[in-house]
Structure 1
Amino acid sequence: MARKDWLTGKGALSGNSRSHALNATRRKWNLNLQKVKLTDDQGRTYVIKVSARTLRTLKKEARVNG
């Protein structure tokens, strides 16, 4: 499975790592993926991978709605 947020679809970013002499080498910034168990209205449990930012938003929404 690709390193991608299941809810938002966000993936890894790529760019250059720059040395003091401004030499460029390619690098990648991966997401901080976390496994989360979600339960729907029928009681089914799903394990999905979401980024830490998305998890923070889910917790915030649960606090407001719950």
Structure 2
Amino acid sequence: MARKDSLTGKGPMFSNSRSHAMNANKKKWNLNLQKVKLIDENGKLITTKVSARTLRTLKKNSQLVNN
């Protein structure tokens, strides 16, 4: 499974790391993924991976099982 946020669909960011001589090296920032338990519309418990930013939003809206 790819390193993606299952709710927002966000993935890793890519760029170049530049040296003083302007040499380019590929660089990748992965998401800070966390496993959380959510309750869906039907009241079923779902374990999913979300980013830390999404987790903050879920805590703010009180949609987590264990805060």
Work out whether the TM-score is over 0.5.
Answer: yes
Higher helix share: 1
TM-score, structure 2 normalization: 0.82
TM-score, structure 1 normalization: 0.83
Task: Structure 2 unaligned segments of length 5 or more: list them.
Answer: none
Percent identity, please: 68
**C-alpha deviations, 1:1-45, integer Å up to 9, x for none?**
000000000001111011233211111110000000112354321
Query: 2:14: which partner in 1?
Result: 14
Structure 1 stretches of at least 4 aligned residues deviating more than 4 Å after TM superposition: none
Computed over aligned residues only, the root mean square deviation of the Cα atoms, in angstroms, reads 1.6
Task: Structure 1 unaligned segments of length 5 or more: list them.
Answer: none
